[in-house]
Amino acid sequence: MSTDSSAPRVAPAWRAPLVVIAIGSIAWWALPDQLGLLTRIAITALFVLSLDLVVGIAGLATLGHAALFGAGAYAAGLFALKASGEPLIGLAVGAGAGALLALASGAFLLRYHGFTFLMLTVAVAQIAASLAQKARDWTGGDDGLSGFTMGPLLGRFAFDLEGRTAALYAIAVLALGLYVARRVVDSPFGLAVRGIHESRARMAALGTPVLRRLLAMYTLAGALAGAAGALSAQTNAIVGLDSLSFALSAEALVMLILGGAGRLHGALIGAVVFTLLHHTAASINPYHWLFIIGAALMVVVLLPPQKAWDWLRSRLGTKA
Amino acid sequence: MSHSIRRSAAALTISAATTLALTSFGAAAQTVKVGIVGPFSGPFAHYGTLFKNGAEAYIASQGGKLAGKEVELIYRDTGGPNPGQTKTLVQELIVKDKVDYLGGFVFTPNAFAVAPLIQQSQTPTVIFNAATSAITDKSEFFIRTSYTLWQVTVPMAQWAAKNNIKKVVTAVTDYGPGIDAETAFKSEFAKQGGTVVESIRMPISTTDFAPFVQRIKASGAQAVYTFLPGGPPNLGFVKAYNENGLAKAGVQFLGTAEMDEFDLQKFGDSALGLTTAFHYSAAHDSPANKKFVEALKKKDANAIANYASVGAWDGMHVIHKMIEATGGQKDGLKAVAAARSLQWESPRGPVRIDPKTRHIVQNVYLRQVEKAGALLVNKEVQNFGPQIDYGLDK
Amino acid sequence: MQLLANVLIDGLAYGMVLFIIAVGLSVTLGLMRFVNLAHGAFAMIGGYAAALLTREAQWSFWIAVPVAVAATAALGAVLEALVLRHLYRRTELEQVLFTIGLSFFLIALTNALAGPQVQLIVLPPLLAQSVDLGFRTLPAQRLLVIAAGLVVAAAAAWTVTRTRFGIWLRAAVDHPDTAATLGIPIRTVQCASFAAGAALAGLGGVLGAELMPLEPYYALKYLVLVLVVVAVGGMGSLPGSLLAAVSLGIVETASKYLASDWGGLFFFLAMALLLAWRPNGLLKR
């Protein structure tokens, strides 16, 4: 699973988002009965994309990313409950909350690296989860934050039972997030961060303010994660404590590694494949779907699809 | 195209094709579809098995059909408290599988999450377990056949006061139903003239209950009133109670669901004499209960009769009556109207659905653990009579 | 005063359980640099084996436990030799992915074979009783755990610093190629170390079964706690793990006594503060 970061990227930033919109629209049209699943996939993809900025681009493995998602979700939910049901402002509020938490926690966390950083992200996320549970009057505690209804999107498209509006909304935000991520990662700032991933010492020697660059990337990731959380709050009309859970962080990391970290589209692939796999396996056998996922993960590591593909091509005699 | 894009296209195609292939093509018009939503994997997976056994045993006991219609049960796994996933699953059940009824639900946030869906689609939803009072308020299509904490706690508080227990310490798991239990006990016990000397809240992830048991000992109370969510925490708390000598120290155990038949045998003789107030005991002596236990054992010799499986059994009974009332057609309003006036003899005793709150009104019993042959059972020593959901009363 | 004594005793017992489970992971993580997130699964397997032997086969506790631990070690050795050793050269993220997949698989297998119910280990009468310490009672099993923790700590420390195997292990980790040219059997050392880690996990699963009930999800449920102890104690530092486990156990117990409605906040706050102060582990600078 090597990154091709050594080669200069020439693909324009709008290509991948257009592919996302195309595939998303086809899925929206072809599967009108499963738009809830489609929405969920889009939100998860955005979340895992934000994780890729931290893990794949900046090289910081984190198991606390759910804190940023949850912050966005609760912020958007509270905004809808107390202020206004307007979705786009709520989305901005969620993204802002995620960014704010990332900025605040990152200032502390980013001084550490490796395993220490990983465990500290766990601590921050668990502390956030404990606080959310304690602040029952604000967050609803275990019962979740509910009772808010979303207004129509852009003043015209109401959130319907089948989830038509929600699915297109989520896909659009995902495409936008991907565009922003792509632009940032391909910019000189993005290159600097990737340089820091490869060698902190070298970048520091070049005069790069390492901590500031990492903090900026972490904050951006927080904004995208917060946006994903806001989407979740708005399309589900409820926010549960599971939005801050360790399980969510761990699952996102698994999806990212599955799809391949560091290339942005790997995040989307991992999210789609894992969610579909889980959904399919669970509906076949709700008790034993974990067998399938466990086996799939092990197989993917032992026989990376890349190698299998190459082997297949060499056997078939075609040039690589 | 590069390797990675080709790989991703392949993966996407395979995944999409698999999902499409599993699309149900709609069954015959005679089949009534019921979606059962609950945890089938993860730490609470035992609820899923209990629901499945209770529901399927009921259908088998009615000869395989309900009101002359074939019934198809579709199971969906929510994992734990996961409102987002539950909403997605129920949305699919309603829109794609076109279920006529929904059943199940263990966790409050999951039930809250689907309230707008069932309200809009007019899908009657029977709650087999979730015990927070506020749930039935969220949609007129919720009907509950389990219990609420207020319902089982109020009579216990009254009994404690009548039996010269003046000082009690409450120890509950720190989540919705636990806090309901604490609030209910405090309010009723105070009304009866007693005092709650301390209210201990135990985090939901607790595995080591020794500190809490020490606090209970130190509180100077005559009894501890407790509620835990079922499964490993219940086991851990009761063991800690026994191992740390609380009974010897004179602190009486007043529980609710802790003597759940699912884990009861594991306590051994140390559980003898423990008192609980609850709505169902597998040892309830009635023909209806005998029929229930037999039906369960016929389905699976290892099946356990407890509050969750009886919640599913009675839940299917309500669905049965709703199918009868609507002639197998999907008519949510008619079905719920019919459900509101139901009363029947359940394995737990005589029950009825309260027309105003759509919650089950049932007898709550005082039980003590005794030995019946080689097994431990919850013997009903007193019947508090029919209790409503006091939590909605306010 | 009573409160302090209670906190110390209960905290020590809880901390010892964490230590016994965590020390195996500290070994694999620190000494072998292999991220084994299936460690919790080994603890679970050890516990399940002991439960099965004492309950179904009705063996004596004192025989069943060593057998269960040996079985877990054997399973660990087999997995290492057949599969895991191919992952030593892979990136950490790939090791994470694989071992999480393995954990999922083992959870599903346990659920399929033994069902979702909690498994109880039948304790011998000696351990099932409560010991009266005068001011309070303590289950005898907790005393065993505290004693076992101390024995494990001593034995592990002695093995790593005083035996030839320990020297081989440290050499094999730091400079595998040089060690190989010196004739140290690298593969044997790696396999034996992994098996030892698995055995310790299994022992932890057995001894901790009173506090951490054995059910299929065990494998992942307590993984975070174990990782915390390893991180705070410092990877590969056995005395560090002991200190970390006991300290965090006492903090967690104190919070249950004094501020239980804050949940796990203080545990993770303490952990964050300790890690921020000593990022490489409590006893390393």
Chain C nearest C-alpha distance from A218 (Å): 19
In the predicted model, is pLDDT for residue B13 greater than 80?
Answer: no
DSSP, collapsed to helix, strand or coil, labels residue A89 as helix
Q: Are the beta carbons of A46 and A224 closer than 8 angstroms?
A: yes
Helix (H, G, I), strand (E, B) or coil at C207: helix
B206 interface with C at CB cutoff 8 Å: yes
Token pair for A278: 């889980």
**C269–A127 C-beta distance less than 8 A:** yes
Q: Which residue has the tokens 């489970």?
A: C21
Q: Which chains touch A (3 or more CB pairs under 8 A)?
A: B, C
How does pLDDT run across A170-217, given as a tens digit for each residue? 999 999 999 999 999 999 999 999 999 999 889 999 988 999 999 999
Round the CA-based radius of gyration of chain A to a whole number and report it: 20
- Residue B215: list chain C partners with CB under 8 A: 257
Above 50 in pLDDT, residue B1?
no
Task: Decide: B124 and B335 in contact? Cβ < 8 Å.
Answer: yes
Among A17-26, A307-316, B230-239, B341-350, the range scoring the smallest mean pLDDT is: A307-316
Residues lower than pLDDT 50 in chain A: 1, 319-320
C-alpha gyration radius of chain C: 19
Q: Hey, what CATH topology would domain C2-277 get?
A: ABC transporter involved in vitamin B12 uptake, BtuC (1.10.3470)
B-contacting chains (≥3 CB pairs under 8 Å) = A, C
Q: Which two tokens stand for residue A13?
A: 């930033």
Is the pLDDT confidence value at B378 over 70?
yes
Q: Where are the domains of chain C?
A: 2-277
CB contact under 8 A, A291 and C105: yes
Closest CB to C117 among B42, B46, B204: B46
A vs C: CB pairs below 8 A = 117
Cα atoms in the 13 Å half-sphere on the side-chain side of B286: 14
User: Measuring CA to CA, which residue among C1, C33, C17, C68 is closest to residue C194?
Assistant: C33
Domains of chain B: 3-147+285-358 (3.40.50.2300), 149-278+364-393 (3.40.50.2300)
The amino acid at residue A195 is: G
Q: What is the pLDDT of residue B126?
A: 96
Low-confidence stretches of chain C (pLDDT < 70) are 173, 285
DSSP letter for A54, please. I
Name chain C contacts of B203, Cβ cutoff 8 Å.
256, 260, 263-264
Nearest-angstrom CA–CA distance, B59 and C103: 37
Q: Which residues of A touch C269 (CB under 8 A)?
A: 123, 127
Residues of B in contact with A240 (CB under 8 A): 81-84, 109, 113
Token pair in block for residue C170: 């440290």
Are B263 and C260 a contacting pair at CB < 8 A? no
Evaluate if residue B337 carries a pLDDT over 90. yes
State whether C109 and A291 contact (CB < 8 Å): yes
Give percent helix, percent strand, percent coil of chain A, each to the nearest 5.
75, 0, 25
Residue B16: predicted pLDDT: 54
Helix B83-95 crosses helix B108-121 at what angle (to 10 degrees)?
30
Exposure of C275 in the CB half-sphere (CA atoms within 13 A): 31
pLDDT in tens, B113-158: 999 999 999 999 999 999 988 899 999 999 999 999 999 999 999 9
Give the per-residue pLDDT at C189. Answer: 84
pLDDT in tens, B263-308: 888 888 888 889 999 999 999 999 999 999 999 999 989 899 999 9
Residues 214-243 of chain C with CB under 8 A from chain B are 215-217, 221-222
Using the beta-carbon criterion (under 8 Å), do A134 and C227 form an inter-chain contact?
A: no
| Highest averaged pLDDT of the listed ranges A167-176, B77-86, B224-233 | A167-176
CB pair distance less than 8 Å for B218 and C2: yes
Residues C161, C159: Cα–Cα separation, whole Å: 6
Q: Higher-confidence residue: A303 or B31?
A: B31
CA angle B230, B315, B304 (to 5 degrees): 45
Q: Closest Cα to residue A176, out of A227, A102, A213?
A: A227
The answer to whether B49 and B113 have CB atoms below 8 angstroms apart is: no
CB neighbourhood size of B10 (10 A): 12
pLDDT number for residue B44: 85
pLDDT confidence of residue A1: 46
Give the A-side interface with C, CB within 8 Å: 1, 55, 61, 108, 112, 115-116, 118-120, 122-124, 126-127, 130-131, 133-134, 246, 250, 253-254, 257-258, 261, 287-291, 293-298, 300-302
pLDDT at C231: 92
Q: Which chain B residues have a beta carbon less than 8 Å from that of C120?
A: 266
Which of C82, C98, C215, C248 should be substituted to probe chain A, the one whose Cβ sees the most A Cβ atoms within 10 Å? C98
